[in-house]
């Protein structure tokens, strides 16, 4: 049993991770400033004797005693990370420095939740970990992309310079219950629009592709990565390599929700990648992992979560 710090623990992925770690018998300290996370995401864990929730902003130093750190704190969707881009960069960069400093003091293993956005608008398809990416350093997505890239740099410099035990995963699009209902991400957008009987907005012509990983699959591989042998630092791509066009996704959501929403088309936002698909051979070979949950099963769970949110009036 270990004491594990999860930053961003009240967010979408963080709340699932906290639940999983408690089920595995660990004590969990969940730290969050509730920018995009919510107490309701971890309310069901509140009575667990091993669970503790702390309001804290990771851009400030944190002094706690733990054995391991999962660093997830960072708004993840464009609407949220573009709301205060300077704070987004600070969260990635100062947050990484503060958590790495903590890990160094405690000699604790630390895992960084990085992102496929480090590849930018990739020229290589599918993306392997060896690809360095094509990122615009001055665009409206740069606060997130470059912030995450700098955080990776810091992780690897702490590893080389201080022999810190680091793990870096690059997460590709993930979806599931407890996604933020108004985060503008395509899965939540389509589902909420369909449940409200509104038109479903497709950016561009809908032929751009994404691969979607169900949250349970993603949490499984994050835990495997944290438990992997010392020295296996990554970065490791984690996500589901099965690609879908936006049009396919919209049609599947419509089919599962029912209703009479129409598909409407709008221009593509700036710097929106046309295609994104992980090469997960490294995760498969080193961690013995591959995603199991198909899109339709994952969407059903997610739809029923959003249906509940709409019923209790949390999502509009
Ligand atoms: N969900 C995905 O598809 C995806 C893809 C790639 C990377 N990621 C990464 O995974 C992590 C979790 O993403 P998510 O989808 O759960 O997003 P989320 O927005 O639901 O979770 C992020 C959490 O971090 C908290 N947070 C933000 N700034 C903070 C700060 N300064 N101090 C403390 N807490 C802060 C938020 O309140 C929220 O609870 C993020 O680092 C994100 O970049 C997610």
Name the residue among 224, 251, 240, 223 with its Cα closest to residue 294: 240
How far is Cα 274 from Cα 276, in angstroms, rounded to an integer? 7
Whether the pLDDT of residue 209 is over 90: the answer is no
Q: Which two tokens stand for residue 161?
A: 């310079």
CB contact set of 229 (below 8 Å; sequence gap of 6+)? none
Q: Is the CB of 170 under 6 A from ligand 1?
A: no
Whether the pLDDT of residue 81 is over 80: the answer is yes
Give yes or no: 144 in active site.
yes
Write out the E strands in the chain.
3-7, 27-32, 51-55, 68-71, 109-115, 166-171, 174-175, 200-203, 209-211, 213-214, 236-238, 243-245, 263-266
Q: Is the CB of 59 under 6 A from ligand 1?
A: yes
- 258: exposed, middle or buried (Cβ count in 10 Å: 0-12, 13-18, 19+): exposed
CB atoms closer than 10 angstroms to residue 170: 24
| Catalytic hit among 144, 175, 214, 305 | 144
Q: Helices in 163-311 by DSSP H: which ranges?
A: 186-195, 215-226, 246-257, 281-287, 295-311
pTM comes to: 0.95
Q: What is the pLDDT of residue 315?
A: 64
Q: Is the CB of 119 under 6 A from ligand 1?
A: no
Name the residue among 128, 162, 134 with its Cα closest to residue 146: 134
Q: Which two tokens stand for residue 253?
A: 């959501």
CA of 148 to the centre of ligand 1 (A): 12
**Model confidence at 259, in pLDDT bands (50, 70, 90)?**
confident
Q: Is the CB of 32 under 6 A from ligand 1?
A: yes
Ligand 1 atom with minimal separation from the 174 CA: 3
**Average pLDDT rounded to a whole number, residues 282-305:** 97
How far is Cα 114 from Cα 151, in angstroms, rounded to an integer? 8
């Amino acid at each position: 049993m270990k004491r594990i710090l999860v930053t961003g623990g009240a967010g979408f992925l963080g709340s699932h991770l906290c639940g999983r770690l408690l089920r595995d018998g660990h004590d969990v300290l969940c730290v969050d400033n509730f920018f995009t996370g919510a107490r309701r995401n971890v309310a069901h864990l509140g009575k667990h004797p091993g669970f503790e929730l702390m309001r804290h902003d990771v851009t400030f130093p944190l002094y706690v005693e733990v054995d391991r750190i999962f660093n997830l704190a960072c708004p993840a969707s464009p609407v949220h990370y573009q709301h205060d881009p300077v704070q987004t960069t600070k969260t990635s960069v100062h947050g990484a420095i503060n958590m790495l400093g903590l890990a160094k003091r405690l000699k604790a293993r630390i895992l960084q939740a990085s992102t496929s956005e480090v590849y930018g608008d990739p020229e290589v398809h599918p993306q392997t970990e060896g690809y360095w990416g094509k990122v615009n350093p001055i665009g409206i997505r740069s606060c997130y992309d470059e912030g995450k890239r700098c955080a990776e740099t810091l992780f690897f410099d702490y590893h080389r310079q201080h022999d810190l035990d680091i793990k870096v995963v690059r997460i590709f699009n993930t979806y599931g219950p407890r996604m933020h209902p108004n985060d503008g991400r395509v899965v939540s957008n389509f589902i909420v629009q369909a449940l409200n009987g509104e038109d479903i907005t497709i950016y561009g012509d809908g032929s751009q592709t994404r691969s979607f990983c169900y949250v349970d699959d993603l949490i499984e591989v994050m835990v495997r990565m944290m438990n992997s042998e010392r020295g296996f630092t990554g970065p490791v791509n984690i996500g589901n390599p099965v690609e879908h066009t936006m049009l396919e996704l919209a049609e599947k959501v419509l089919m599962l929700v029912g209703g009479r929403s129409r598909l409407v088309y709008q221009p593509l936002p700036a710097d929106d990648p046309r295609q994104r698909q992980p090469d997960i051979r490294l995760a498969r070979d080193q961690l013995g992992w591959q995603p199991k949950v198909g899109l339709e099963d994952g969407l059903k769970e997610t739809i029923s979560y959003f249906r509940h949110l709409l019923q209790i009036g949390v999502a509009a």
